[in-house]
Structure 1
Amino acid sequence: MIFQFQKQFPHLNSYWDRYLPLQKRLEMPARTKVLDEGIISQYAIYIEKGCLRTYFNNNGKETTVQFFFEEEGLSSLDSFINNIPSPYTIETIEPSVVYLLSKKHAIQLLEELTHEKDFVMMFMKITARRLTHYSGEFISFIRDTPEQRYLRLLNERPHIIQRVSQRYIASYLGVSTVHLSRIKSKLAKGNLHF
């Protein structure tokens, strides 16, 4: 959601103020689904407080795709744009406060923003940042071992290690919780390096 970039683009604050009454503010306990896999996404989501994850059902086993935190936005984008069932579930993993902006109002907001000076460049930078991140994640999952992915996570995104439960981190890395414990044990003994 575009509002996650308010700090980088302060002129978005006037849009936030204008669109705030059109958003649903929800206080949600941990493990609350914001969107179910297979349902068409109708909202852009902005996180004021808390942590959410996206995951899909992999033959009865949950596979975590990504984590999102304060001041980040998300949606099941393909579902949201193309009116197709979402390939994954969006769920809170901490007590969270989220804002939901309907598709109608999100499109209206984007249409208004197209008249802003430098909006296209800003939007391209935002999109490039996300695509670069996801491409890196995809390549890492193919190329790197679970140990390398854990070390990268520890070095580049330590807040995930600090805030997210081990079972979700294991699911994100594509390993069992037992395997994750072994990785952490090797790291504690100094037997694991980049």
Structure 2
Amino acid sequence: MIFQFQKQFPQLNAYWDRYLPLQKRLEIPAKTKLLEEGVVSHQAIYVEKGCLRTYFNNNGTETTVQFFFEEEGLSSLDSFINNLPSPYTIETIEPSVVYLLSRKHVLQLMEELTYETDFLMMFMKITARRLTHYSGEFISFIRDTPEERYQRLLKERPHIIQRVSQHYIASYLGVSAVHLSRIKSKLAKGHLHF
């Protein structure tokens, strides 16, 4: 979501001030679906407070793709940009405060910001960083064992371990909750090493 860049670009406050009133602020409980798999995304989401996850249905089992926390933005990007059905669901997993901005307004804002050279360069860097993160996770999912993926999560994103329920973490790692318990038990006993 575009407003995650607000703190990084205070010189663009005129844009933020103009578009902030067009957002819809929602205070919502856990387990609130903001987008359903198979539905076209028409809103970009900014997380002010809480935690969201993206997941898809895999033959009746929910498979978690990613987690999003405070000051992060998200949407089902391909769906949002290309008007296609979303491949996944977006759902809160904590009571959350989110802002929604319609596709029409996001595209209008992006068009205006294309004239700001500094913004485009930073936007490209941030996008590249996010793509690098996702490709790293994809490679890790193919190359690494579930134990190695859990250790990497502990090292690089410990806030997920601290805030997210174990069954969602297990789903994210591609293992059962029982398997995750075994991994944690081995780690606690010192049988797994970084």
Runs of 5+ in structure 2 lacking a partner?
none
Pairwise CA distance, 1:125: 0.6
Pairwise CA distance, 1:55: 0.0
Q: Give the whole-Å Cα distance in 1 for the aligned partners of 2:109 and 2:29.
A: 29
Secondary structure of the structure 2 residue equivalent to 1:118: helix
Q: Give the whole-Å Cα distance in 2 for the aligned partners of 1:12 and 1:128.
A: 21
Greater CA deviation, 123-132 or 161-170?
Answer: 123-132
User: Residue 88 of structure 2 corresponds to which residue in structure 1?
Assistant: 88
User: Residue 152 of structure 1 corresponds to which residue in structure 2?
Assistant: 152
Secondary structure of the structure 1 residue equivalent to 2:151: helix
Runs of 5+ in structure 1 lacking a partner?
none
Q: TM-score, structure 1 length as denominator? A: 0.97
Classify 1:92/1:147 alpha carbon distance in 2 versus 1 (closer, same or farther; 3 Å): same
CA distances 1:67-119 after superposition (whole Å, capped 9, x unpaired): 00000000000000111100000000000000000000000000111111322
Pairwise CA distance, 1:122: 1.3
2:38 and 2:87 in contact (8 A); partners too: yes
Pairwise CA distance, 1:20: 1.2
CA RMSD in angstroms, aligned pairs only: 0.9
User: Residue 20 of structure 1 corresponds to which residue in structure 2?
Assistant: 20
CA distances 1:13-53 after superposition (whole Å, capped 9, x unpaired): 43222211111101110000000000000011000000000
Q: What is the 5 A alignment of 1:5-84?
A: 5-84=5-84
1:3 and 1:12 in contact (8 A); partners too: no
Q: Give the whole-Å Cα distance in 2 for the aligned partners of 1:12 and 1:36.
A: 33
2:167 and 2:177 in contact (8 A); partners too: yes
1:24 and 1:100 in contact (8 A); partners too: yes
